[in-house]
Structure 1
Amino acid sequence: MTSGNMHIAYDLSFTHTEGRWAREGSWVGRDFPDVRMYMELAQTAERAGVDMLFFGDGSGVPSTWRGSIAPAVEWGIQWPRHDMSPVIAAISTVTEHIGFGLTYSSTYLHPFYVARLLNSLDHVTSGRIAFNVVASTRGADAANYGYSELIDHDQRYERMEEFVAVCKALWDSVAPDAIVRDRTTGRFADPAKVHPIDHAGHFFTVKGPLASVPSPQVHPVLIQAGNSPRGIAASASFADLIFGFGASLAGQRRHRAMLDEALTKEGRDPEQIGILWATQLVVGRTAAEAEARRESVLKFWSREAVGTFLSHNCGYDFATLPKEFKLGELRDAIVAANASPAGFVGHLVDELGEGHAMTRDELFERGWTSATGLDHTIVGDPVAVADALEENFAATGARGGYMFSSPLGMPSGLAEISELLLPELRRRGTLAPRYPGRTLRENLAV
């Protein structure tokens, strides 16, 4: 990835959840999953030069809080979630340049199916697909694939590494020049350039080859978001681009340093691998307008909504917390359940120490800003937000850019980023060039 050029993606994973569907600036008369919403937003983003629209995924309805799906269903917490591949196919027909990041679980899905699907989508979009490879950490997802408990943390990453290796072998199993289409002889392809992969590993046995025509990018851009030491090691082994969490500058610097070390061990150049930092924005025409919009977000959230969100994403039922506990004990309970020790609780341990005693009410007070995303939200007018982003970009190595999300109504929150902030960043020369290549890989320079 080109050093010193800021790339931008929009995270559309939750534009319809946690009350965004009802806030000021949300569509009236159009509701999720109306594809026209995404078509319009994609066209606005492309006019602004956004590199990629990103869709995270989860296949389970949150049920960790109080052992029930009822709170998540009632308040729309991390639910509903659809497979967004058909949406991407549709919005690719009304755009020409912007890329699309699609998420599938290496923990539960089969690599042959995913490799074939992504090959097809890369054709449909003319080479604009990225694959966000995830190791699933939520119990609600596991239950839908026949698991009574989560797979061991490190084993999930071992499976991911083999999953990606199989996908890459399948994408390479038909050479880019294998298809000859000789109209004179009727010869379609060269058999010498189509070969089985004969993979027999710990998790998968796949004969191959992929029964598909090679796609424009051959390999989609590979994205990974591992934040633990094991996850970072996995991402260093194969990822073209990293999705990082932007809660604190110290955490970002630590992630960048650990990734650079892991990349070096893999024989890869750390200067070529960027991180897109997950960053929530509230941009207003004035600072006062932006602050008022920030305050409007808090009105949605109740203790029940916060508990549902945190329990689902941490893998621990916070309704069962004792009145007082030590952070290290809470982290260890999450680890014992094979959930992710990073994220909200990991950040608390890093900040306060594992021996820190915390009350249940204090945790929920902290959890409020985590669930709302306000712990990693930049609020202000376009000039102030651009200043903050430029300063942070330089401080974290100037490699990669940002994955922006908004807690505001859909589509106004992201539309204002497109219409107010990005022109300011482009005027300063901060952003990467607008779509210099034909494919997403070329535009991201990965």
Structure 2
Amino acid sequence: MSASDADPHEMHLAFDLSFTHSEGRWARPGSWVSRTFPDVRMFQELAITAERGGIDMLFFGDGSGLPDTWRGSTDPAVEWGVQWPRHDMSPFIAAMSAVTEHVGFGLTYSSTFMHPFYVARLLNSLDHVTSGRIAFNVVASTRLSDAANYGYDQLLEHGLRYERMEEFITVCQALWDSVEPDAIVMDRETGRFADPAKVHAIDHHGRFFDVKGPLTSAPSPQGHPVLVQAGSSPQGITTSAKFADLIFGIGGNVANQVRHRTALDAELLAAGRDPAGVGILWTTQLVLGRSEDEAAAKKREMLEYWGDEAVGVYLSYNAGYDFSAVPDRIILGELAEEIVRSQASPAGFVGQLVAELGADHEISRNEFFERGWRHAVGFDHTIAGTASQVADALEENFAATGARGGYMVGNPLSMPASYAEVTELLVPELRRRGAMGEPYQGRTLRENLAR
């Protein structure tokens, strides 16, 4: 996104489809009864609905491991469907793009395990298939279950994971640039297909990768896919500021959001980039009702999702740390330090507790898991109300956090009803207020997000 084109007052919305079929949502009122994951028709129908509402992007997070952190077993995750099953969504995106023209698609791959040549080539191909509607969410993996599927018995140290990510993206960018936009001439009279002077080896030799290049693909509509990153640690923010076009941030706490925005702006300036051109999509959960009472009743249903074991599986897997062994009394800062020593992620639930209560705060094991339950279902940071009330809350938060970016709406009560309510109730209200502009004024996802 270029700073000159960015409108600091236009709100963007994306739908997170990573877990629309898991954690009990498949059984909630408003879910499909005639189709089940991974029926591609579910996703095609949702893509059509999202495009009708002018949603900017449909996003798929990913992880290749079966959750096994809780008590060292995969059984609870399988039994309760916690972040399982998961498929590579690239074929689904191709199918969704065939029934839409404008909505964008975000796809996740790990720089910790994947090779940049393969990923650069795949994303280039998908950008062609979708006519320029692909975003690449690059992640540094934190889970041993993922690592084991790629032949590793331990994770890279946290800092090295981000060093590898930087090199990974550097290689991808060089590969995407290795065939110049006008390299292919296709002269029918002479039969000359392309100009070899505009196709370049990259001859990359780095700490983690050796790649000759060039990319064996035609230049794609966007040149580069929109690059997305979600690192919220100090090193993650520094890394994302070097290359990301769009940031995913943790929503629900204005003070933390402002800190993230402020830190990101400083790092963007240090990297020689204009902060006005890089938006943050804040992860957000919404419950919409046609009345305030209806919305409140729906929100209460969130606490009926899971049992104790499913909550433990979710918290442990997302941190990469087995919380089944926490003691009866917990000093939050000490737990965060232990998580770091184990090469797991101190962000997320424990990081939020430390930010809220302080590193020296002591809580009981019972309180830890009670708070964890509410965190797992997103209860405390879910915005519930009528379309007008939710629009009020989003507009207020948008202004307070820099008015650059928007919201990644995730973890719906049910699929597809919850997302249909966003497009049918909330989006018209936001457009009526002028908070969201007219949809799809650009040719590509990059151009649409730049407005």
Under TM normalisation by the shorter chain, which class is it?
A: over 0.9
CA distance in 1, matches of 2:445, 2:415: 25
Residues in 2 aligned to 1:261 and 1:385: alpha-carbon distance in whole angstroms: 31
Q: In structure 2, what is the equivalent of residue 434 of structure 1?
A: 439
Deviation sequence 1:14-50 (CA, Å, 0-9, x none): 0000000000000002000001001111111101100
Q: In 1, distance between residues paired with 2:281 and 2:227? A: 13
Which 5+ residue runs of structure 2 have no aligned equivalent?
1-5
Q: Which aligned pairs between 1:154-169 and structure 2 lie closer than 5 A? A: 154-169=159-174
Q: Is the 8 A contact 1:385 1:421 kept in 2?
A: yes
Aligned pairs for 1:250-265 (under 5 A) are 250-265=255-270
1:314 to partner: Cα distance: 1.0
Q: Which of 273, 281, 284 matches 1:276?
A: 281
How high is the TM-score relative to the length of structure 2?
Answer: 0.98
**2:3 matched residue in structure 1:** none
Query: Counterpart in 2 of 1:171?
Result: 176
Whether 2:335 is the aligned partner of 1:326: answer no
Question: How far 1:120 sits from its partner (Å)?
Answer: 0.2
**Can you list the C-alpha shifts for 1:393-423, whole angstroms capped at 9, x where unaligned?**
0000000000011431110011111111111
The answer (yes or no) to whether the contact 2:302–2:379 under 8 Å persists in 1 is no
Residue equivalent to 2:410: 405
The corresponding residue for 2:209 is: 204
Aligned residue number for residue 195 of structure 1: 200
For residue 98 of structure 2, give the secondary structure of its aligned residue in structure 1. helix
1:107 aligned to 2:112? yes
* Partner-residue secondary structure (3-state), 1:7: strand
The 5 Å alignment of 1:264-413 reads 264-413=269-418
Using structure 1 for the length normalisation, give the TM-score. Answer: 0.99
Please name the residue that 2:144 is paired with: 139
- Aligned-partner Cα distance in 1 for 2:203–2:362: 54
| Letter matched to residue 355 of structure 1 | D
Identity %: 69
Asked if structure 2 preserves the Cα contact closer than 8 Å seen for 1:161 and 1:234, the reply is: yes
Does 1:224 find its partner at 2:226? no
Distance (whole Å) between structure 1 residues aligned to residue 109 and residue 411 of structure 2: 23
**Within 2, Cα distance between the matches of 1:359 and 1:144?**
35
8 Å CA contact 1:52, 1:101 repeated in 2: yes
Residue ranges of structure 1 left out of the alignment (5+ in a row): none
- Answer whether contact 1:150 1:337 (CA < 8 A) is retained: no
* 2:102 maps to 1:97: yes
* Rounded Cα–Cα distance in structure 2 between residues aligned with 1:127 and 1:376: 34
CA distance in 2, matches of 1:203, 1:27: 45
Determine if contact 2:412/2:419 at 8 Å carries over to the other structure. no
**Is 2:149 aligned against 1:130?**
no
Q: What's the counterpart of residue 31 of structure 1?
A: 36
How much has 1:247 moved relative to structure 2? 2.7
Q: Deviations over 1:341-367 (max 9, x none)?
A: 111101111111111111100100110
Counterpart contact for 2:248–2:280, Cα < 8 Å: yes
Match of 1:120 among 106, 117, 125: 125
In 1, distance between residues paired with 2:178 and 2:417?
Answer: 44
